[in-house]
Amino acid sequence: MTAQTSAKRPPPAADIRPPAARRRARRPGFVTAALGLPVAFMAIVYAYPVGAMLLKSVTEPTAGFGNFTEAATDRTMWHVLWITVRMSAEVAVLTVLLGFPVAYFLARTSKRKARFLVLLVVIPFWTSILVRSFAWIVLLGDNGLVTKILEPLTGDGQGMLYSESAVIIAMTHILLPFPILIIKGTLDQIDASLPRAARSLGAGPVRAFAHVYLPLAVPAIVSSGMLVFVIALGFYVTPALVGGPKQSTIAVVIAEAVQVNFDWGMAATLATLLLILATALTMIVRRLTKVKGLVTL
């Protein structure tokens, strides 16, 4: 027996097909359980309640799309939607406008300084929304700090609590950490030498910023603005506490439907519409910006 037998090349893949069935089926077991049990848990404790709620929009009080037509023909509903969208948009624009300079500064300053300053952003982020709304009640109330500071300007001691401005200010405060952290995350990845390179090629600092930094940051700016918008759409605590009846958002109306009118069907319908809107917007943002994980640790 000599070498001629071993001289063959490996057969080209086209000649041989993999066996139709693996001889050994992969043992299910631990991996399946590790995935299956959490999925089962989430299905029962999460997907079921949400599904049941969605179902109620077409079954309560009677089967059919009556709730949806009722909501669509109700003028106040359209007004509520308009208020919600408008306030959310205002908050989104404000948070991005205020957030970008901070993010830019944090990304460019020394690591040590940034680490400390980021704490000033993250601590509010971790403070409960309820407490932060409460803080604005204190600040904007008739005896509040802001009211007192503004007294020479406004002329009276009237606080701006229960107004649209109050809601906007409080929500901007609550959602501001999102754009800061998201935009900073992107700016951190832009090589600092890029704007410098642009400058060495003759661009002034403003032009270098506008032509190099800004375009690279645009996806993060857009996605964080959209994210704030989506979160703001579903806000309940702040409009309910800081705003007045005129600032009723979708969430406030949903709560009222349940707590005041005991109209489960309408509450479910509005929640369904809100969920559809939020999901659609989130998907669009993802498509646009390819920002995948919102939260990475």
Window 124-163: residues binding other proteins (CB under 8 A): 124-132, 134-139, 141, 143-145, 148
CB contact set of 133 (below 8 Å; sequence gap of 6+): 170, 174, 237, 238, 241, 242
Closest CB to other proteins among residues 77, 250: 250
Asked if 67 is part of the footprint of other proteins (rule: CB under 8 A), the reply reads no
Stretch that binds other proteins, among 61-69, 73-81, 85-93, 270-278 (CB under 8 A): 270-278
Binders in 89-108 for other proteins, by CB under 8 A: 98, 101-102, 104-105, 108
The Cα 22–Cα 296 span in angstroms is: 38
Closest CB to other proteins among residues 104, 164: 104
Asked if 37 is part of the footprint of other proteins (rule: CB under 8 A), the reply reads yes
Three-state secondary structure call for residue 176: coil
Closest CB to other proteins among residues 75, 292: 292
Asked if 228 is part of the footprint of other proteins (rule: CB under 8 A), the reply reads no
The Cα 177–Cα 275 span in angstroms is: 23
The Cα 149–Cα 144 span in angstroms is: 9
Among residues 72, 200, 218, 244, which is the contact residue for other proteins, using CB under 8 A? 200
Closest CB to other proteins among residues 164, 265: 265
Distances (CA, A) of 291 to 53, 58, 227: 30, 34, 11
Asked if 293 is part of the footprint of other proteins (rule: CB under 8 A), the reply reads yes
Distances (CA, A) of 138 to 2, 147, 241, 256, 267: 94, 10, 11, 25, 31
Q: What does the radius of gyration of the chain's CA atoms come to, in whole angstroms?
A: 27
Asked if 297 is part of the footprint of other proteins (rule: CB under 8 A), the reply reads yes
Report the nearest approach of other proteins to the CB of residue 212 (Å). Answer: 14
Total chain residues near other proteins (CB under 8 A) = 132
Among residues 71, 96, 171, 182, which is the contact residue for other proteins, using CB under 8 A? 182
Per DSSP, 3 falls in state G
The Cα 143–Cα 79 span in angstroms is: 32
Asked if 117 is part of the footprint of other proteins (rule: CB under 8 A), the reply reads yes
Per DSSP, 246 falls in state G
Closest CB to other proteins among residues 36, 82: 36
Among residues 81, 166, 212, 251, which is the contact residue for other proteins, using CB under 8 A? 251
Asked if 111 is part of the footprint of other proteins (rule: CB under 8 A), the reply reads yes
Stretch that binds other proteins, among 65-73, 74-82, 83-91, 194-202 (CB under 8 A): 194-202
The Cα 161–Cα 141 span in angstroms is: 6
Binders in 7-36 for other proteins, by CB under 8 A: 7-11, 13, 15-19, 22-24, 26, 29-36
The Cα 92–Cα 227 span in angstroms is: 8
Per DSSP, 209 falls in state I
Asked if 296 is part of the footprint of other proteins (rule: CB under 8 A), the reply reads yes
Token pair in block for residue 18: 């993999």
